[in-house]
Structure 1
Amino acid sequence: MKSVTVVGSGIVGLTSAISLQEAGFQVRLVAKERFDITLSSKVGAIWFPFEIHPKEKTNHWATLAYERYKSEIQEGNGVAFIPFLTAYTPESNIDWTRQLPAGKVRKARPEELPKGMQMAFISEVPLAEPQLYLPHLFERFIANGGSFENREVTSLEEMADLDALVINCTGLGAKSLCNDTDLHPMRGQILRCKKMNVPSFANPTKRGALSYIINRSEDSVIGGTDYENDWNESIDPADTDLILHRLTESGISQSPEILEVIVGLRPRRSAVRFEFDTNYPNVFHNYGHGGAGFTVAWGCALELAGIL
């Protein structure tokens, strides 16, 4: 049995590891952070192609992932399909709507639109709650014969020496590992609140003013921010006020009860890096998924398994 090492234990690393196991590889997972403290553990994790390029590949990966999530639904693992309202403008990329099965997406009626929103789609999309789904994936990986090593990899040379085949799923960490000047953070701050009785929606139509609500089984996530090249991982009270103000502007009268304020840095890139390294040909890069890690991770992982 061929061996492969996956570096990184977020949603991209875990799905890559499991897909490679399913393809017959013996897989080791190496990461400086366990899945429960990665960026993936901090996000709303709904299927939504946000700030990820190029769109042709993204659409393909998102479609593969959408189909995979259908078979991922299990009692208690956090995967479900929910209605989600997504705003758009005439300038928006709405190609993702054509990737959905017939009957799973439609244009919202005027009375269904939050205040200030002109046009939107209502679609039935996967939600994968990180606090449930990530440990579920990790336990599956270990049960399938995988091993985990808590270790920081500090250079691409060190990474290449890990195994005959190595998959780089280090997210924003790849910036220093690969000296990748294209990779940069997009800072997100969100509010985890007691579950609200309002529809789940996202309004990504204004750059720097992302607004959304994602209702999960036990809580609601309210966002957010999308600040480019912002490395600040500290909570900013001004951003909390801004998020709440946008919520009020959208016509939501219910006052959220905040349980936790969370900050994470999305790994933004002009295009996802999905290729073998030219200097270390045994290393395959799979990083730079922006704000759409949960949306495309399974798609990337399945294509990766096919390539290897």
Structure 2
Amino acid sequence: MKSVTIIGSGIIGLTSALQLQKSGFQVNLIAKERYDKTLSSKVGAIWFPFEVGPKKKTNTWATMTYMHYKTEESVGNGIIFIPFITAYTPKSNTGWTKQLPEGTVRKATKEELPRGMQMAFISNVPLAEPHLYLPHLFEQFLANGGTFKEREISSLEELASLDTYVVNCTGLGAKTLCNDKELHPMRGQILRCEKMAIVSCADSTQKGALSYVINRSEDCIVGGTDYENDWNKNNEPADTKLILNRLKGLCQEDPKIIETLVGLRPRRHSVRFEFDKTHPNVFHNYGHGGAGFTLAWGCAIELAEILSK
């Protein structure tokens, strides 16, 4: 049996591992932290191609991921489909709307628009609840014969020596590991709140003024921030105030905050999805920005096809 080692246990690493198992590989998973300590464990995880490129390729991966989630829609595994209103402008990436199944997306009427939005789509999209979905994937991986080890990899040379094939899914960690000068953090601060009456929606049309509400089965995520090159992992009260003020532009309801979460999205001009030029057994799969859950399965499916050849 062909062997491959995945580095990283977030949504990109777990989906890559499972798809490679499905393709007949023996898969080993190595990560500095287990899935419940990763960025993937503390995000809204709504399906939406946010701040990621290149557009044509990522729209294709997003569609593949959407269709995979359709096969997983099940009570208890953390995948549900919900109505989602997304604002757009003439400059927005709207190509994803043309690739979804017929009848799942349309333009919102004026009466349906949340306060402050001028134009928006209403689509029926997947929502992954990380606290349910990530352990579901991890348990599947182990049940399929996968192995997991907590270990920090300190260099690309060390990574390349691990297996016949090695897949780098280290997210922002790849900046140091690969000396990737293009990779940088996009800081996100969000509020986990009690459920709200407003329909789930997002307005990402103005850089630096991101605002969204994602109602989940038992709580609600209100966001957020999209600060480029910001390494601050601390909860900033000023950002909480900013998020709440922006929320007033969408609705009049005051959320009841349960906790504040901060994460650093791995941002690049384009997802790095390629073999390493120096270490030809290493494949890079990182830099998915704010769209990890949106692109994960599409990337995993293409990755398995590439390595199977």
TM-score, normalised with respect to structure 2: 0.99
1-structure distance, mates of 2:50, 2:273: 18
Deviation of the 1:75 alpha carbon: 2.2
Aligned pairs (5 A) from 1:73-152: 73-152=73-152
Give the match for residue 289 of structure 1: 288
Give the match for residue 234 of structure 1: 234
Say whether 1:52 aligns with 2:49: no
Partner-residue secondary structure (3-state), 2:248: helix
Deviation of the 1:295 alpha carbon: 0.1
Aligned pairs (5 A) from 1:191-202: 191-202=191-202
Aligned pairs (5 A) from 1:1-308: 1-250=1-250, 252-308=251-307
2-structure distance, mates of 1:83, 1:127: 10
2-structure distance, mates of 1:61, 1:189: 26
2-structure distance, mates of 1:262, 1:105: 30
2-structure distance, mates of 1:110, 1:74: 33
2-structure distance, mates of 1:229, 1:195: 31
1-structure distance, mates of 2:160, 2:116: 51
2-structure distance, mates of 1:92, 1:304: 28
Q: For residue 20 of structure 1, what is the amino acid of its counterpart?
A: L
1-structure distance, mates of 2:86, 2:75: 27
Deviation of the 1:116 alpha carbon: 1.2
Partner-residue secondary structure (3-state), 1:232: coil
2-structure distance, mates of 1:185, 1:120: 28
Q: For residue 287 of structure 2, what is the amino acid of its counterpart?
A: G
2-structure distance, mates of 1:95, 1:135: 32
Q: Which runs of 4+ in 1 moved over 4 A?
A: none
Partner-residue secondary structure (3-state), 1:249: coil
Q: Deviations over 1:131-178 (max 9, x none)?
A: 100000000000000000000001000000110100000000000000
2-structure distance, mates of 1:202, 1:253: 16
Partner-residue secondary structure (3-state), 1:266: strand
2-structure distance, mates of 1:93, 1:249: 23
Partner-residue secondary structure (3-state), 2:13: helix
Percent identity for Structure 1 against Structure 2: 71
Gaps of 5+ in 1: none
2-structure distance, mates of 1:255, 1:47: 25
2-structure distance, mates of 1:286, 1:89: 30
Deviation of the 1:197 alpha carbon: 1.5
Partner-residue secondary structure (3-state), 2:56: helix
